[in-house]
Copies of this chain bind each other. A is one copy, B any other.
């Protein structure tokens, strides 16, 4: 409809929006790489081509590519072109039996989980409601960051009923997995009962934990897991680096 642009498929970027053109273009190219748009050549189109596609100066495209090179996503080789080093976006499956490491298994070679902190606190309103406990009940809080092949993928804050799982913190520290820590305390199976997802700009803490650049997006998933009898055993708040992840809902 409306106007039909001729020739070189014009990819629009917006000016005067508080987001620099080079950053908008970097975001678009990162997305295109993730979509496999350049798989045929394994390279990003030449700078001059990109510049005319986006309707900007070649220097602006170079700034965008420099940012992507900084991320380790591409590598420019003089005389040849700009090679794609890594294709982004890991798929994270969400199902009734969601297990962090399991789902990522084949997509990344190495999964890392780092425990940032743990403490016992009294459940605030939302945590208590999610876990079906009276407000103020003791809960174990775990803060973790998970990464795939060295890149941070998600930052999580989890809450567990302290009375039922008093050793949660120690067991997690020892085993490095929520599923295993549950098993060590007599819970062999649990199911995802609810997940809420919002997308927003990352705050300062998230930028640091996930090694993101400002303006980056996080997908925040609020999830409740329950045992087979339906009693909540975990409430978690996971922030995913949106440009590295895709969520798949399996129903």
Binding site for B on A (CB under 8 A): 1, 11-14, 17-20, 22-24, 26-28, 31, 63, 67, 89, 91, 94-96, 116-117, 191-201, 203-204, 207, 213-215, 217-219, 242-243, 245-251
Evaluate contact between A242 and B199: CB separation under 8 angstroms.
yes
Instruction: Determine which of B14, B215, B242 lies in contact with A19 in the assembled complex, contact meaning CB atoms within 8 Å.
Output: B215
Could you give 30 example pairs across A and B, Cβ below 8 Å?
A: A12-B204, A14-B204, A17-B213, A17-B214, A18-B19, A18-B26, A18-B63, A19-B19, A19-B20, A19-B213, A20-B20, A24-B201, A24-B215, A27-B201, A28-B203, A31-B200, A31-B201, A31-B203, A94-B249, A193-B251, A194-B248, A195-B251, A196-B249, A197-B197, A197-B219, A198-B245, A198-B246, A201-B217, A215-B215, A249-B249
A78 CA to B233 CA, complexed, in Å: 49
Alpha-carbon gap, A24 to B250, bound state (A): 34
The list of the 6 closest CB pairs from A to B, nearest first, reads: A18-B23, A17-B214, A19-B215, A18-B20, A199-B199, A195-B249
The reply to whether B198 and A18 contact each other, CB–CB distance below 8 Å, is no
A24 and B198 within 8 A (CB) = no
Contact residue among B67, B91, B219, B247 (Cβ-Cβ distance under 8 Å from A18): B67
Q: Which residue of B lies closest to A15 (CB)?
A: B214
Task: Give every chain B residue within 8 A of A94 (Cβ-Cβ).
Answer: 249, 251
Q: A1-B117, A27-B201, A203-B28 are in contact. Are A91 and B14 (CB under 8 A)?
A: no
Query: CA of A214 to CA of B215 in the docked complex: distance in angstroms?
Result: 12
B217 with A91: CB separation less than 8 A: no
Besides A195-B249, A200-B217, 20 more A-B contacts (Cβ < 8 Å) are A18-B214, A18-B215, A19-B20, A19-B214, A20-B20, A27-B201, A27-B215, A28-B203, A31-B200, A89-B198, A94-B249, A94-B251, A96-B251, A192-B251, A196-B247, A197-B219, A198-B246, A199-B219, A200-B243, A201-B217
A207 contacts which chain B residues (CB < 8 A)? Answer: 14
Q: Could you say which residues of chain B place their CB within 8 Å of the CB of A246?
A: 196-198
